[in-house]
Amino acid sequence: MSSPYCLNLPLNSVSFGQVSVAILREIFKRGEHPPVFPIGPVDLSTQTQDAVFTQWLQACINTAQQRHNRQNTAYKLWHIPGSLESYSSVDSRLLTFQESGQLTPTELNILRQQQRVYVTNRYAQTFFKQFGIDATYVPLGFDAHNFRVLEKRPSIEGVTSWLLTSKAENRKHTYRQLSLWAKRYGNQKEHRLNLAISNHFLSQENQDKLIAQALGGERYWNINRLGFCATNAEYNSLLQSSEIILCCSGSEGFGLPEFHATAMGAWPVAMKAHAYLDYFTDENAVLVTPNGMAPIYDGIFFQQGAPTSQGNIYTFADEDFYAACEEAQKRLISKGLNIKGLDLQSMKYSTSVETLLQ
């Protein structure tokens, strides 16, 4: 059936794109046919193939300009910058990720132009409220179309496998976690680190340089540097390649890789803060209590004094990180697979869509 709303969102391989496609799958299941206006090129190459869904989506895109009425609601999934543009004259709604803990005058002006604002974690909902923006919390979920527990998890007897993955960024403490792990577990035969970090906005040369700096110029034979996973099917295997995942990010909009890895049985060493508090608990994760906050600025993605993306991230103490790593190993030995983590699969994108379309 036709729908009294349209969607303006990215359909690509990064986090925003993955969330957009998962939301669209749920709308497809509801039998609705909203106009869809993609942000940027359409790239579904990471997705597990589904011809019927793809045909439906293409039809929603191809007929969008023919069917859309600007008196209807327009949903946009995007960064706050770039969200003044809307396909509705009366009801513009924005679903956004926000990690910095602060809103600038520019961001506030853009948000105030929206008839409704949605955020993907309660932490953002709280600080948006402090800045006068009444945002609705939309819980994201487990992407059951692309991810599933393997019948046999790869493992090496007598070796603890660790994973450090997702977008490489100082905000996520990516390089600090790599450095700390190498100092404690580097070149030890009982441990292996699967390193699968990348950043589309950095050249390979710059990424290599940042990793080398984190490792102090040393080489570690038990750090297994993995390439970029071109499909979610490959990433599904990667997320189950290790028993422990390192995710002491300073701030997150949600945290798709660590959420899915935990939902498929890994033990997370995670910051006890921000979006993680929506799904990580003392039972399904080993939590690291922050020891303070630090400016988010890294001179690359977050520039001090810029009109957007200003604020702080959570920090942690080295000794607390190491204590959590030791606790994760103890749980692995005593409990094996993270059974409580599997419960996260009960978080579904159907709930996300129901919240959006209320």
For the full predicted model, state whether its pTM sits above 0.95.
yes
Q: Which residues, at least 6 apart from 151, have a Cβ–Cβ distance to it below 8 Å?
A: none
In a domain, 151, yes or no: no
* Average pLDDT of the segment spanning 143-155: 94
- 81-114 pLDDT, tens digit per residue, is 999 999 999 999 999 998 899 999 999 999 999 9
Together in a domain, 37 and 139: yes
| 176 vs 182: CA distance, rounded Å | 10
Same domain, 168 and 314: yes
Q: Total structural domains in the chain?
A: 2
Same domain, 254 and 190: yes
From CA 38, how far away is CA 8, in angstroms rounded?
6
Average pLDDT over residues 110-120: 98
Residue 115: count other Cβ atoms within 10 Å of its Cβ: 13
Which domain does 102 fall in, by range?
Answer: 5-144+348-357
Do residue 231 and residue 305 come from a single domain? yes
| 14-20 long-range contacts, CB within 8 A, separation 24+ | 14/167, 14/200, 15/97, 15/167, 15/253, 15/254, 15/256, 16/77, 16/78, 16/97, 17/43, 18/46, 18/143, 18/232, 18/256, 19/77, 19/120, 19/140, 19/254, 19/256, 20/77
- What are the helix (H) ranges across the chain? 15-29, 51-62, 64-67, 105-112, 122-130, 174-185, 204-214, 232-239, 256-263, 318-335, 339-342, 349-357
Judge residue 313's burial from the number of C-beta atoms within 10 Å of its C-beta, 0-12 exposed, 13-18 middle, 19 or more buried. buried
pLDDT in tens, 35-52: 999 999 999 999 999 999
User: 184 in helix, strand or coil?
Assistant: helix
Is 207 in the same domain as 339? yes
Q: Is residue 12 part of a domain?
A: yes
List all residues 6 or more positions away from 74 whose beta carbon is below 8 Å from its beta carbon. Answer: 5, 6, 7, 8, 86, 87, 88, 91, 92, 93
What average pLDDT score do residues 235-245 get? Answer: 97
Residue 208 and residue 85 share a domain: no
In a domain, 268, yes or no: yes
334 with 353, same domain? no
Is 316 within the bounds of a domain?
A: yes
User: In terms of domains, do 119 and 225 share one?
Assistant: no
- Cα–Cα distance for residue pair 145/18, rounded to 1 Å: 11
CATH of the domain at 298: 3.40.50.2000
Claim to verify: residue 166 and residue 310 sit in the same structural domain: yes
The answer to whether the beta carbons of residues 193 and 215 sit under 8 Å apart is no
pLDDT at 300: 85
Shared domain check, 204 and 302 = yes
166 within domain boundaries: yes
Q: Are residues 70 and 32 part of one domain?
A: yes
- Whether residue 184 sits in one domain with residue 130: no
What residues contact 358, with CB distance under 8 A and at least 6 apart? none
The verdict on residue 131 lying in a domain is yes
pLDDT value at 2 more than 90: no
The pLDDT of residue 228:
84
Residue of 206, 244, 208 whose CA lies nearest to 225 = 208
